[in-house]
């Protein structure tokens, strides 16, 4: 069991209530599976969050399949929740849970936590960009002098996911694209090498798009800082839209 009392986690703890509610709702929207740990780590289970009621100070989560485990959870004096969406460890503790009814079905309810910890594994985290924040990535591929431009749909310190409207793209898995440029707007331009890790198709409406996933071969400290500033800016903008 993770040591939720580790003082080192305090630097990652979020205490602003609206931000905590934002991340709880994000887990709901993503349908993220959450580990529930109780009885000092002797009991564990999986659940999903169903609703967050800020006015009533309630987090509602799914009833378990084992009635014995459900009873033990109701008797627990402290419950530890942990999930890892996109490689970012999310965890929080609540002192007690109760039984309730949600949409005519049994469920658990607990208080919105006072603290919420997010531990970002930098090499795995990818931020999905809203349409208004998607940035262009340009590069040359193969022997051709043609400059390709793709739209960045997700990005993190480990790599990038991109789309374009071309039916095919001139890459192979494992290929290194030299000197690609990702334009981050006011945060600068990243010039770097990409290693192609994924090639596929996706659809948006009636359009079929080519999808490419790539790993950053190497980021300098300055490039990491630029990218972190861009990611933080986008996250803050999205939270601000939620009030």
The secondary structure of 9-45 as a DSSP string is GGGGEE--HHHHHHHHHHHHHHT--EEEEETTTTEEE
Q: What is the mean pLDDT of each run of 10 residues along the chain (243 residues)?
A: 45 85 93 88 87 96 92 94 83 95 96 89 72 92 81 90 85 90 95 90 78 90 90 85 68
pLDDT at 122: 58
pLDDT at 134: 93
- What CA–CA distance (Å, rounded) separates 107 from 80? 17
CATH topology of domain 127-241: Thrombin, subunit H (2.40.10)
- What CA–CA distance (Å, rounded) separates 54 from 41? 28
Tokens linked to 44: 């564990």
Instruction: Find, among 167, 20, 23, the residue nearest to 86 by Cα.
Output: 23
CATH 2.40.10.220 residue ranges in the chain? 127-241
- What CA–CA distance (Å, rounded) separates 38 from 41? 5
- Pair 160, 182: CB distance under 8 Å: yes
pLDDT at 102: 96
Instruction: Work out the end-to-end distance of the chain between its first and last CA atoms, rounded to an integer number of angstroms.
Output: 35
pTM: 0.52
φ/ψ (deg, to 5) at 12: -100, 0
Q: What is the CATH number of domain 7-120?
A: 2.30.110.10
Cα separations in angstroms, 118 against 82, 187, 225, 237 = 10, 24, 19, 18
CATH 2.30.110.10 residue ranges in the chain? 7-120
pLDDT at 194: 94
């Amino acid at each position: 069991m993770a040591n939720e009392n580790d003082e080192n986690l305090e630097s990652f703890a979020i205490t602003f209530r609206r931000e905590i509610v934002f991340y709880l709702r994000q887990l709901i929207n993503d349908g993220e599976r959450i580990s529930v740990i109780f009885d000092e780590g002797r009991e564990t289970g999986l659940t999903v969050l169903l609703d967050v009621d800020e006015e009533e100070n309630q987090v509602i989560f799914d009833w378990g399949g084992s009635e014995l485990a459900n009873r033990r959870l109701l008797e627990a004096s402290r419950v530890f929740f942990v999930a890892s969406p996109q490689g970012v460890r999310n965890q929080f503790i609540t002192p007690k849970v109760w039984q309730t009814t949600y949409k005519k079905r049994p469920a658990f309810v607990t208080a919105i936590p006072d603290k919420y910890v997010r531990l970002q594994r930098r090499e795995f985290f990818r931020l999905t960009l809203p349409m208004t924040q998607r940035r262009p990535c340009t590069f040359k591929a193969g022997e051709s002098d043609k400059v390709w431009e793709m739209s960045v749909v997700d990005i993190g310190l480990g790599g990038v996911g991109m789309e374009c409207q071309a039916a095919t793209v001139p890459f192979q898995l494992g290929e290194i694209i030299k000197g690609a440029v990702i334009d981050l707007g006011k945060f600068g331009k990243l010039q770097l090498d990409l290693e192609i890790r994924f090639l596929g198709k996706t659809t948006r409406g009636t359009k079929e798009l080519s999808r490419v996933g790539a790993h950053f071969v190497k980021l300098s400290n300055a490039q990491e800082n630029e990218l972190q500033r861009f990611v933080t800016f986008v996250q803050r903008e999205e939270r601000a839209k939620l009030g």
